[in-house]
Amino acid sequence: MDTESTYSGYSHYSGRSRGSHRHGERSRDRHKSRSKDSRSEKSVTINTPPAEPLLGDSTARSEQAQDDNWGETTTAITGTSEHSLSQEDIVRITKDLEDSVGLDCRRYFTRAVAVILGLLVFLTPLAFLTLPHILWPEKLQSCGTACEGLFISVAFKLLILLLAVWALYFRPARAGLPRVFVFRVLLAVLVFLLVVSYWLFYSVRILDSQDTNYQGVVQYAVSLVDALLFIHYLAVVLLELRQLQPCYSVCVTRSTDGATRHYNLGQLSIQRAALAVVENYYSDFPIHNPALLSASKSRAAKHLAGLKVYNVDGPGNNTSAGLVQSQSRAMIAAAARRRDTSHNELYYEEAEHERRVRKRKARLVVAVEEAFTHIKRMQDEEQKKAPGDVMDPREAAQAIFPSMARALQKYLRTTKQQHCHSMESIQQHLAFCITNNMTPKAFLESFLTPGPSLQYSRDHWRARQWTLVSEASVTSGLKDGTTFLLKCVDFSLVATSKKIPYIQMSEEYIDPKSHKFVLRLQSETSV
């Protein structure tokens, strides 16, 4: 849709009835319908998104009918479509709201349980030490030197435990998983049972009998802290060390273009393996570009568009069911006959596309080198100016950007990357290169070679939610041949795990003396 197109209302017209009464009614109905269309079409506006792609000027508008079109930058908002919702949209919006509310509630509930359990763990040893002084202080025996030394031991052990728990658990959440982490839940249950057991023993043997041996009470609190430290060591082994050794090779394939990567993973559950796959996807896979996938579809549509089916029996037989089947068979047969020459068309189309890419790449390289040469000349001139007149990198980038904008725009159009780069992002990248004194080749590398998804703006690559599809339970561990699917809005990632085989190595001893030899020279007699 052209960005400068506007909609204007139809002018009202009035005419007198010249025919019968029926003709007058038809003219009045037509007049009402056109007036209604005029009122509705007057509310149509065209909004341009803030992140406008590179150079939406007159040249882009003149070439908009080409195959290598610049990205669609306009959105038409009408008075009707702005408020219209289908039943499917309502169901989808309701489901999204329920999912988001459920995820937020589960996240807050997990945090609340973790905070309560942490407070219970750290306050229990202190409560064991202070309750005898509060309930029966006159019956307690004096605490000797060994008892006072245990106070220092409890204090430092609690400090070490606090730092260890902070390092292991209090980290930013990387993702929201569909199910709970089994090992973490088991550790939490183990800690809760340990603390409850100590409280039961403390209430029966110390609180009820009002034990006067305070040194025994302190040793009891020290044993609790030691047990908590051992549980934390078990948590480090289960949560961190167990997954370090690679056990499976996971092959990840993108469903749209077949891009494939391989990753070595340890003993993980399916949901945590899926999380590792998604994290590696953003840094390893090239950005998903749907425009590159439209060539084959347009080619097939063009081939089918050239086929026409005529009904020689007349229009009266169009209602028969066999006619539709015969037309489909005729089009399939014609497409099969034309398939013999389609590889030639594909070959010449790809050759022409490569020629255009090389041509526009050469123009872009020359334009960027000239722009950077101009920057070098400007820097030499600014060294002679006063400090207040020196241009910052942002202003320098804005000054030289127009000289390379047209060549860059055409190259991005030809390579179908115009939706990945906005004018603002290109200028920021140019200012970054100027600030760090980079070469023209370093500036062009992000445009000539498609980078990973994290290199681009978040609006172009980040999905709102990934959906994990697996036949096995997502909390079960990876096995040989396990397959799961990660679905996104535009594509999906298919992951298949293969177990790394057991490697048997043997040693072969070679005697060092076996490599030695003696060279014997025979003297020749003179003739």
Q: Is the pLDDT of residue 499 over 60?
A: yes
314: left (phi over 0), alpha (psi -120 to 50) or beta: left
Residue with tokens 């930058």: 73
Q: Which two three-digit tokens encode residue 98?
A: 């329920």
pLDDT of 58 higher than 50: no
210, pLDDT greater than 80: yes
Q: Which of 106-110, 456-460, 471-475 has the highest mean pLDDT?
A: 471-475
Residue 490 has pLDDT above 70, yes or no: yes
Provide the sign of the torsion angle of the four alpha carbons 283, 288, 289, 292, taken in this order. Answer: positive
Q: Which residue has the higher pLDDT, 295 or 42?
A: 295
Token pair of 254 as six digits: 């993108």
Q: How far apart are CA 135 and CA 214, in angstroms?
A: 13
Percent over 70 (pLDDT), the chain: 67
Task: Assign 158 to helix, strand or coil.
Answer: helix
Q: Which of residues 319 and 257 earns the better pLDDT score?
A: 257
Tens digit of pLDDT for each residue in 239-271? 999 999 999 999 999 998 899 999 999 999 999
Q: How far apart are CA 88 and CA 94, in angstroms?
A: 10
Residue type for 83, please?
A: H
DSSP letter assigned to residue 17: -
CA end-to-end distance (rounded Å), the chain: 105
Nearest to 216 by CA among 114, 269, 143, 304: 143
pLDDT of 273 > 50? The answer is: yes
Residues, the chain:
527
pLDDT at 31: 47
In terms of C-beta density within 10 A (0-12 exposed, 13-18 middle, 19 or more buried), how is residue 215 classed?
middle
Q: Sign of the CA dihedral 508, 511, 515, 520?
A: negative
List pLDDT tens digits, range 19-45: 444 444 444 554 444 444 444 333 333
Helix axis angle for 440-448 and 393-414, nearest 10°, is 40
Task: Identify the helix (H) or strand (E) that includes residue 248.
Answer: strand 248-254
Q: Quote the tokens at residue 313.
A: 């029996």
pLDDT of residue 22: 45
Kind and range of the H or E run holding 242:
none
Helix axes 87-135, 214-236, angle to 10 degrees: 150
Is the confidence at residue 85, as pLDDT, over 50?
A: no
Pick from 10-19, 382-391, 503-512: least confident: 10-19
More confident site: 37 or 391: 391
Tokens of 445: 């590398």
pTM: 0.68
Residues 136-165 pLDDT 10s: 888 888 888 888 889 999 999 999 999 999
Distance CA 129, CA 327 (A): 90
Annotate 390-455 with three-state secondary structure.
Answer: CCCHHHHHHHHHHHHHHHHHHHHHHCCCCCCCEHHHHHHHHHHHHHCCCCHHHHHHHHHCCCEHHH
Amino acid identity of residue 395, one-letter, is: E
How far apart CA 73 and CA 177 sit, in angstroms, is: 35
Which pLDDT belongs to residue 457? Answer: 74
- Mean per-residue pLDDT for 315-332? 57
Question: How would residue 68 be classed by pLDDT, with cut points 50, 70 and 90?
Answer: very low
- Classify strands 45-47 and 75-77 as parallel, antiparallel or unpaired: antiparallel
Distance of CA 274 to the CA centre of its chain: 12
Confidence (pLDDT) at 454 = 82
CA 229 to CA 398: how far, in whole Å? 59
CB under 8 Å to 419, separation ≥6 — which residues?
Answer: 53, 71, 291, 460
What are the residue ranges of helices labelled H in 145-213? 145-169, 182-202
What is the distance of C-alpha 208 from the center of its chain?
59
CA 12 to each of CA 8, 23, 37, 39: distance values in angstroms, whole numbers, following the listed order: 12, 18, 11, 11
Rounded distance, CA 191 to CA 378, Å?
A: 67
Stated as kind and residue range, the H or E segment containing 499 is strand 492-499
Task: Write out the H or E segment, with its range, that includes residue 525.
Answer: none
The structure tokens listed for 219 are 């040793």
Long-range contacts, stretch 42-45, CB < 8 angstroms, 24+ apart: 42/7, 42/8, 42/9, 43/78, 43/79, 44/7, 44/76, 44/77, 44/78, 44/79, 45/76, 45/77
pLDDT band of 417, cuts 50, 70, 90: confident
Specify the pLDDT at position 46. 30
C-alpha distances in Å from residue 464, one per residue of 96, 301, 352, 467, 474: 11, 32, 38, 10, 20
Q: Angle CA(151)–CA(153)–CA(158) in degrees, nearest 5?
A: 100
Q: For residue 176, give Cα distances in angstroms to 100, 110, 129, 170.
A: 11, 12, 40, 15
Crossing angle between the packed helical segments 342-382 and 294-305, to the nearest 10 degrees: 140
Instruction: Note the pLDDT tens digit of each residue in 163-198.
Output: 999 999 888 878 888 888 899 999 999 999 999 999
